[in-house]
Structure 1
């Protein structure tokens, strides 16, 4: 049976009171073929009030095959979602970590609140449906209507558990990670953060720089900008690189693409096969979806542009079972408390103008800034603002594909001696699918080997 562990003494920063060991037992749902075991522990809902209400974190471990393992690597698969234990047990995570497991224990946990996909930890009882990506408001009245719609959706979720709702940002998750480190008895943390897990990693690095031994950012981008306004144009250029690569491939002028976007911005273009219309930002979002897939999707993008210029934008319609329009989760609790969002139409217009100037082919499309349109009007403020990393961190390691690499490079630029692994291709994250990158990451965790900047895999 899994037993509870209370660590109410944990505070916002480094904690000197030693934590007891986790009591490992069978996981709810069983060990699976990989033999995962579980333990549960109690942590504060609100880390500003460590002696207050507690919630349950479920922790999973793949015990090392070594007789004397070199410690633990903690893993977050991103999302953000609350089902990491199930991913490790059932969906190939254990296979990817098999080599590293020969030297170290592999530990994961289901995130508090069960964001987006519930797990075995304390969950927030909300069902997030998907929605059409918001169209850019054209005036303050449209901005206010969008804010009111977002707030109505979020407030229903907030009412289920107001305290937990306000405590699901990545900084709160990073405090949970620190609690797990202490419970494991590790002097410092080894942490692998994939995709959204990279933002949790950056939050942990800011909060506990002297507790980091090794930290990997895989397929993520920059949440450690000292000035967010200056970061926005850089993020827009990162995203635009997908279309720049397409234009290089087709040896065609971007002017045709820009004419199409301008035409659709004036009058949305019908897409009869999808039963809808697409405006300029819809086409940018859908065009980016195709361009992100790389050369295998380039011919389809070429044909879609040609047909749309002739008046039928059906070629941009995503393949089923995806919806026929640019799609976004209706706003996530973690995301909306991690990222800045515009307070009004004037601020939004200023941000969009700067991104349009930096990336005229894509503008704000595909950026976290555009995604934050789903968070305007949110009933609680941002809890985990982007901020520069502190001094005193050991060398970090970053891995990335095309546009992910440039953004995450701005994170590790702040930490002398950091290394990076680059894959010149599309996709998202490297560890699970790229044996070369996996070998570099395993050597970094097990032996402290930091590869040179920009090594190719």
Structure 2
């Protein structure tokens, strides 16, 4: 999971006039073992052309085990996580909520069978590449742009129209079509991780249709100053490292580690440190890995201290991740590159990186969208869903998150009077599935509309 640069003006397509919502033909989902029903919903690939080509969304539903009081639309993030398959495997999460509400989810546009989804997919095999280094000059910026465009064109060529319409705003318009197809009641929505950006887009486009909305462990995509948000993300990362350093300073075993880490990354910025045959890590790589380990909390800190010492001595193999020799920073794809602002020049990029490093002298730009958006430079589709503040008139929303995430969610919900963010003072990514206290508050809000008190921790 889950920040770039400049700000573009919000593009809000006019809501098309639609014929009455189609009825959904529910039938057992393929291979289902828990009683989930599926249905197809046809939607325009381009919502500005309601009479144009249509694609298929696959919806899944678990009916309420008691008397149904409505439905909750659920999405797990990714972006593109297969909602049907995930709900089938995680159905025990929702037992209390399902006593009163139908659970509805969907497999999102573009993320087809190669992602485990059943909706119309973009025929493409994404190759995971390491986040590129920051270009050192204008020529390097141009080469990065050409490389990114070439890689993306392979996928765009297969379906240019769908490729250009996979932003979170497109997913939000699909959510509105789902709401109407379910009968038209106002939306109850739970969005985890990247799906919180779908929710923010929906709140901007259809504020009058929101009954309840939960944003769990997501990024702030609702700001007028994207550069400030990227810097805030870096400051959150700095706090993760500071927790680790504070623990080391109080420990008799690793008081030397904070100083060694700082000198290590400075050296690695000049000469990458060998980790395995053909693999060497830059300073940003090491920062990225260290931030991830620091976020794990005290159980992971002794191993991080050991890895820092070994890398300082010239062996960075202690940072090798299970997922492969090079896996720092976040992945980037077709939805992200239509949601995240990206620099138009190296000078613009340099200004953002300078601002980020000022906010986080040790963590730097690692694990922020200043780095993640590098893969979007030169992307052959525009940013159609740029960040923008939330509108007035929304009902109070509920947020949740662990270290760092609750801070980002709080920055979103500060725009909506009466909203509350549940914070967990510990590691983790999203709260609903792992934190019973947060789950109870979220269920109560989605059913009765009751928010916990301000400052609630779980």
Residue 96 of structure 1 deviates from its aligned partner by: 0.4
Q: Which has the higher contact order (CA 8 A, sep 6+)?
A: 2
| CA root-mean-square deviation | 1.7
Among 24, 27, 37, the residue aligned to 1:25 = 27
Q: Say yes or no: does 1:75 pair with 2:78.
A: no
Deviations 1:55-109 (A, max 9, x none): 1111110000123x110000001001251111112x22x1101110000000000
Query: 1:154-233 counterparts in 2 under 5 A?
Result: 154-233=152-231
Q: Indicate the SS of the match to 1:214.
A: strand
Alpha-carbon distance in structure 1 between the residues aligned to 2:454 and 2:307 = 38
Q: Which is further off, 224-233 or 390-399?
A: 224-233
Distance 2:292 2:18 in 1: 48
Matched, 1:269 2:268: no
Q: Secondary structure of the residue that 2:115 maps to in structure 1?
A: coil
Partner of 2:35: 35
Question: C-alpha displacement at 1:255, in angstroms?
Answer: 4.0
* CA displacement, residues 231-290 of structure 1 (integer Å, 9 cap, x when unaligned): 221111122221111112111474432221111111112224x54211111111111121
* Pair 1:82–1:405, CA change in 2 (3 A): closer
Distance in 2 between residues matched to 1:118 and 1:80, nearest whole Å? 12
Shift of 1:315: 1.6
Alignment partners' CA distance in 1, 2:416 and 2:17: 24
- Aligned pair count reads 439
Long gaps (5+) in structure 1: 1-10
Q: 1:234 aligns with which of 232, 235, 244?
A: 232
Aligned position for 1:427:
428
Deviations 1:321-350 (A, max 9, x none): x11123467641101111011112111111
Q: TM-score by structure 1 length? A: 0.93
1:306 is the counterpart of 2:304? no
Q: For residues 400-439 of structure 1, give each alpha carbon's deviation from its aligned partner in whole angstroms, at most 9, with x where no partner exists.
A: 0001111111000000000111111111011011111110
Structure 2's unaligned 5+ residue stretches are 1-12, 250-254
Alpha-carbon contact 1:129-1:330 (below 8 Å) kept: no
- Native 8 Å contact 2:16 2:50 kept in 1: no
Contact 2:329-2:366 within 8 A present in 1 as well: no
State the SS of the aligned residue for 2:74.
strand
Matches within 5 A, 1:50-449: 50-67=50-67, 69-89=68-88, 91-92=89-90, 94-114=91-111, 117-251=115-249, 252=255, 254-272=258-276, 275-318=278-321, 320=322, 322-327=323-328, 331-449=332-450
Return the alpha-carbon distance in structure 2 between the equivalents of residues 144 and 152 of structure 1.
12
CA contact (8 A) 1:65 1:103 kept: yes
